[in-house]
Amino acid sequence: MKLLAFGKIAEIIGKQEIEIENFPNTDILVGYLQQQYPALKDLKFSIAIDKKQVNGNVSITTGAEVALLPPFSGG
Amino acid sequence: MDRFERQYILPGFGPASQQKLRKTSVLIIGAGGLGCPALLYLSAAGIGKIGIIDGDLVSLSNLNRQVLFGKEDLGKNKAESAAEIIQKKYDDIEVEAIPYFLTKENILGIIQNYDLILDGSDNFPTRYLVNDACLIAGKPLVFGAIYQHEGQVAIFNAKGRHSINYRDLYPIPPSAREVPNCNETGVLGVLPGIIGTWMAAECIKYLTGYGDSLEDKMLFYDLLNHNSYQVQLAKNPDREQNRPKNHSELQTMDYQDFCGLSAQTDWEVALSLLRNTNQSVLVDVRELGEQPELVDIDHIQIALADLPNSRSQLASFQNILLFCQSGSRSLKAVDMLKSQFPDKNIQSVEGGILRYLFD
């Protein structure tokens, strides 16, 4: 699957786009990412799968594109 | 021929769309990096009435991105200065300057006079306040925000409760310090130029039905590589959590506290902030000469009544720690400063100097 990251999340992960192994659902994916990048634990973000926002724990189909969308405040 | 000819001869736009713009009013929140380009294009496009609210003054470090202003505007109120510049350019539209900071007390009275709200503010407490007030007042909200080299734009609340709002995306607010703003991390002026112009475009499209608007969608943009990403937003079951539903509930919200900026702290935390970062300042808000004096910690003195005029002394600090005799005036002082500095950590030290000296 493809992971897209924006804003501070991309800074923490070090890339805006990475290919990673498939995860069955968003909770497991987020848990894995927080373990790999502990700084993510302090951040709020929304999740989209294939360009649609999802809420709660949602299953991820093989080859999906998951995006982590942090809030920006600047103006 | 008039000054709008080039847009009403545009196929699909036409004189009827121009009439709609003429009959519409838009409130621009913040005459900053986003507000300046939005204001330039909305006034050029012939929006009938434009309001600009901003209590801040133009400073030198604003000029790389707040392109309405120049050297001669330094020290002037942004809303008044912007309104004057725009009114001078175009005398066929109405421009209202609202030279104050937006607060939960004044917001509903202000937004009710406008058809569409454009949020170009620069901090989370204000963004949630604007979102919530637009929901209560039933106003569509064009949202835009930036972070370093990225931006995001969306239209919220276009169809009241059937629509998406900011709380669908982020029902639990980030702490105000979780994501730094441009004052802290820097920004190239062209980024808010692009995003603010997109916000103006979304206003025009939404008001006239020209093209597909970003209603219930969010568009991300990255200046470094021109990548963009558009996401269809969805209702979040947690959207109603902590949301004020009416005027009186809005008045009881503490948006600073909601975004992790609590109004009080104790001496231990205050002293550690003062030791560990040069972005902290300790302020004695008592009258000059009040006893006992604080002698062993660096601090400045600004009496409570002088706080509204002390912006320049405090603007460079991220943590503003206030104390008085026993902690009640300093708590009032927090309230006075919050609307001026919505994203700073402004705290009253509990128990005041008496607790410091005698506990």
The pLDDT, as a whole number, for residue A25 is 97
- A14 falls within a domain: yes
With CA atoms as reference, report the closest residue to B179 among B133, B127, B130.
B127
Measured between beta carbons, the chain A residues lying within 8 angstroms of B261 are: none
Q: B73 is written with which tokens? A: 């505007």
Please give the tally of structural domains in chain A: 1
Element (H, E) at B102: none
- What is the predicted pLDDT for the residue at B354? 94
The torsion region of residue B75 among left (phi > 0), alpha (psi -120 to 50) and beta comes to left
Q: How many CB atoms are located within 10 Å of the residue B197 CB?
A: 17
Q: For A17, name the nearest residue in chain B, comparing CA atoms only.
A: B227
Instruction: Spell out the residues 6+ positions from residue B353 whose beta carbon is closer than 8 angstroms to its own.
Output: B284, B292, B294, B323, B324, B325
**Interatomic CA distance for residues A6 and A43, integer angstroms:** 12
Assess if residue A33 is contained within a domain.
Answer: yes
pLDDT value, residue B181 = 65
Question: Is A75 part of a structural domain of the chain?
Answer: no
Mutate to test the interface with B, among A51, A57, A72 (most CBs of B within 10 A): A72
Give the chain A residue nearest B38 (alpha carbons): A75
Pick A44's closest partner by Cβ from B122, B151, B170. Answer: B170
| H or E segment to which residue B5 belongs | helix B5-8
φ, ψ of residue A58 in degrees (nearest 5): -125, 140
Tell me if B213 sits within 8 A of B204, measured CB to CB.
no
Residue A16 lies in a domain: yes
Check CB contact under 8 Å for B150 and A7.
yes
Task: Look up residue B348 and give its amino acid.
Answer: S
Cβ of residue B335 closer than 8 Å to a chain A Cβ: no
CATH number (domain holding residue A43): 3.10.20.30
Q: Which residues of B318-337 are buried (b: 16+ CB within 10 A; e: fewer)?
A: bbbbbbbbebebbbebbebb
A49 touching B, CB under 8 A? no
Mutating which of B61, B122, B149, B178 best tests the A interface, going by the most A Cβ atoms within 10 A?
Answer: B178
Cross-chain CB nearest to B152 (options A16, A54, A72): A72
Yes or no: say if B83 and B52 are a contact pair by the CB < 8 Å rule: yes
Amino acid at B77: N
Tell me whether residue A74 is in a domain.
no
End-to-end CA distance of chain A: 33
Domains by residue range for chain B, with CATH: 5-253 (3.40.50.720), 264-358 (3.40.250.10)
The tens place of each residue's pLDDT in chain B, 359 residues long, gives 799 999 999 999 999 999 999 999 999 999 999 999 999 999 999 999 999 999 999 999 999 999 999 999 999 999 999 999 999 999 999 999 999 999 999 999 999 999 999 999 999 999 999 999 999 999 999 999 999 999 999 999 999 889 999 999 999 998 766 776 666 678 999 999 999 999 999 999 999 999 999 999 999 999 999 999 999 999 999 999 999 999 999 999 999 889 888 889 999 999 999 998 889 999 999 999 999 999 999 999 999 999 988 988 999 999 999 999 999 999 999 988 988 888 889 999 999 999 999 87
CB B83 within 8 Å of CB B60: no
Cβ of B220 under 8 Å from any chain A Cβ?
yes
Domain that holds residue A17: 2-69
Q: Could you tell me which chain A residue has the CA closest to the CA of B35?
A: A75
Q: What is the pLDDT of residue B62?
A: 94
Q: How far apart are the first and last CA of chain B?
A: 78
Size of interface A-B (CB pairs under 8 A): 104
Strands (E), B228-354: 228-232, 264-265, 280-284, 300-301, 319-323, 345-349
CB contact under 8 Å between B231 and A53, yes or no, is yes
User: Residue B285 corresponds to which amino acid?
Assistant: V
Q: What are phi and psi of B80, to 5 degrees?
A: -65, -40
Q: Which amino acid is at A51?
A: K
Distance to chain B for A21, nearest Cα, Å: 22
Q: Is residue A11 part of a domain?
A: yes
pLDDT at B34: 98
Closest Cβ–Cβ partner in B124, B151, B179 for A8: B179
Closest C-alpha among B201, B96, B190 to residue B142: B201
Distance from C-alpha of A17 to C-alpha of A3, rounded to nearest angstrom: 6
Taking only the tens place, the pLDDT of each residue in A14-72 is 999 999 999 999 999 999 999 999 999 989 999 999 999 999 999 999 999 999 999 99
